[in-house]
A and B are shown apart, each in its own frame.
Chain A
């Protein structure tokens, strides 16, 4: 159930300095950010957006999200297992609340939401950017969890639900997500990404498969498989292959893992 009228447009934050308003907040505990003030008058909207979201609507949504978070243990610390469950639940919640909105996937909208409306949920999951030489870091890259690209903490959890579905997303590890996400040549295509992930998870459950076993780890094996997929994809685009064909290519790469584990992939990928 979406929280908003179907044609509602959201504020956006774009450019290289979207992180600046967060510098003064750096180090604060998530709870102290739960009710940050917002100012829509100074916020940028798409010029073709007829209906702008109101401040009241946004604050009501945040209250609902805060109550939802408290039901899941917020603000007590997350361990690794709880982090995974939190990511999936948050992705489902955000996806449901914004489904059907014209800018539900817009990177600049999620940058604004992470920076002004829900920074506490980003800090709770990902923490603040680490200090550098005792100083608060500067620059987009260091503040990527609040930024516009897919490293944005809120976008990321939603993207994983949209791409893989809750069941698959709940079984994959952070490194498995990243191995695919950081190979956009094939990972941008959600069908391909989903088939790749389903295949490696199936291999992980298969006692006869070398994936993540017999001297290998899920993180490193997935990285090796995805590097090989990237090379194959440049000659034989996986986006033009059927699900069965993609599965076959992934299984072949997994089959070769005992050999490729010792291969210097870094050289192959960069060279």
Chain B
């Protein structure tokens, strides 16, 4: 365990939490906790605004006594973010100067679009002096007296923007416009006609969601399509459909003498071999089923991808 020697003017964690209550960082657009981001909700070029409430647990006038502030010391609250991937950092809205801790309020971080990977966030208490005559050994003006980074490890203060796992693009389009005729279908699998096992999945496969159906059945309060409302059975159906379509498209390559172990991560072939092996025990058994008995092939896939519950609730 690392030993950190902090100056005597720093505040104890318990004293701060007895005086003020800091809410979770919330993504302003979605209302979701920022640290719950899994890399699926952000895309390059998006800025992100997060907000954290700051509320007093005791009378604001008693905070000075609770935190043992000297005469002339004013406590301010501040937040900073950094993005190591793009070598950028910044501070709370209204900064750089800390916000005087006087009333219930909130902290806001407006993180600009030039970010990637993940964002590290830290909330701090900083002391400003309003008098020149300070006690001996007093902290300097602008001294950091408390940070949630001292007790919360980085992994608990990180907003994940881009996950490391392979992701398949999902686009919401009107099937009436795209395919030239109205459709009640919820999804379709779109694959590149010249797909090969060593293609990267994200480059050649797209799941299309029908905007017309989404707006009708799965829309948010503004009437915009909201994929978060789709029930688990939909994702199971998309998964089964995806594997069926890819197997049919690549059946000749799969029957060949490919050395699947050589395929890079994120490729169509690697994903397909993995899923077929999971569902059937081996690629050879899967292909035999596919050729001999399509119904059995589908049943095995449904057994693999069936949701925990078929109830339609999200």
B87 touching A242, Cβ below 8 Å: no
Is B104 part of the binding interface, using a Cβ–Cβ cutoff of 8 Å?
no
B95 touching A240, Cβ below 8 Å: yes
Q: How far is the CA of A79 from the CA of B60 in the complex (A)?
A: 63
Is B88 part of the binding interface, using a Cβ–Cβ cutoff of 8 Å?
yes
Interface string of B124-158 (1 = CB under 8 A from A): 10100000000000011111100000000000000
B96 touching A236, Cβ below 8 Å: no
Closest to B128 in A: A240
Q: Which of B139, B198, B202 lies in contact with A45, CB distance below 8 A?
A: B202
Residues of B near any A CB (own CB < 8 A): 7, 43-46, 76, 78, 80, 82, 84-91, 95-98, 113-117, 124, 126, 139-144, 162, 167-171, 198-200, 202-203, 266
B44 touching A240, Cβ below 8 Å: no
Please name all residues of chain A whose beta carbon is closer than 8 Å to the beta carbon of B98 when the two chains form the complex: 240
Q: Which of B113, B142, B199, B203 lies in contact with A236, CB distance below 8 A?
A: B142
Please name all residues of chain A whose beta carbon is closer than 8 Å to the beta carbon of B46 when the two chains form the complex: 102
B87 touching A239, Cβ below 8 Å: no
Please name all residues of chain B whose beta carbon is closer than 8 Å to the beta carbon of A50 when the two chains form the complex: 171
Interface string of A1-26 (1 = CB under 8 A from B): 00000010100000000000000000
B116 touching A105, Cβ below 8 Å: yes
B78 touching A240, Cβ below 8 Å: yes
Please name all residues of chain A whose beta carbon is closer than 8 Å to the beta carbon of B44 when the two chains form the complex: 9, 46, 48-49, 102-103, 106
Known: A105-B116, A241-B96. A44 touches B202 (CB 8 A): yes
Q: How far is the CA of A191 from the CA of B36 in the complex (A)?
A: 29
A42 touching B198, Cβ below 8 Å: yes
Task: Count how many pairs of residues, one from A and one from B, have CB atoms less than 8 Å apart in the complex.
Answer: 118
Number of interface residues of A (CB under 8 A): 39
- Told that A41-B199, A105-B88 touch, could you supply 9 new A-B pairs with CB distance under 8 A? A9-B44, A47-B169, A108-B116, A159-B87, A236-B140, A237-B78, A237-B144, A240-B91, A242-B96
Within 8 A of B (CB), among A98-115: 101-108
Is A235 part of the binding interface, using a Cβ–Cβ cutoff of 8 Å?
yes
Is A206 part of the binding interface, using a Cβ–Cβ cutoff of 8 Å?
no
Within 8 A of B (CB), among A21-38: none
Please name all residues of chain A whose beta carbon is closer than 8 Å to the beta carbon of B115 when the two chains form the complex: 105
Closest to A190 in B: B88
Is A64 part of the binding interface, using a Cβ–Cβ cutoff of 8 Å?
no
A189 touching B89, Cβ below 8 Å: yes
For A9, A104, A189, the residue with the greatest tally of chain B CB atoms inside 10 Å of its CB is A189
Known: A50-B171, A189-B89. A237 touches B124 (CB 8 A): yes
Please name all residues of chain B whose beta carbon is closer than 8 Å to the beta carbon of A242 when the two chains form the complex: 96-97
B114 touching A188, Cβ below 8 Å: no
A103 touching B116, Cβ below 8 Å: yes
Q: Taking the nearest CB of chain B, how far is it from the CB of A88, in angstroms?
A: 18
B126 touching A237, Cβ below 8 Å: yes
Closest to A40 in B: B203
Known: A47-B168, A240-B95, A240-B126. A107 touches B144 (CB 8 A): no
Closest to A11 in B: B203
Please name all residues of chain A whose beta carbon is closer than 8 Å to the beta carbon of B95 when the two chains form the complex: 239-240
Q: How far is the CA of A43 from the CA of B200 in the complex (A)?
A: 7
Q: List 26 A-B contacts (CB under 8 A).
A: A9-B44, A44-B266, A49-B43, A52-B203, A102-B113, A105-B114, A105-B115, A105-B116, A106-B44, A107-B116, A188-B82, A188-B87, A188-B88, A188-B89, A190-B89, A191-B96, A235-B7, A236-B140, A236-B144, A237-B124, A237-B142, A239-B89, A239-B90, A240-B95, A240-B98, A241-B96
Closest to A237 in B: B144
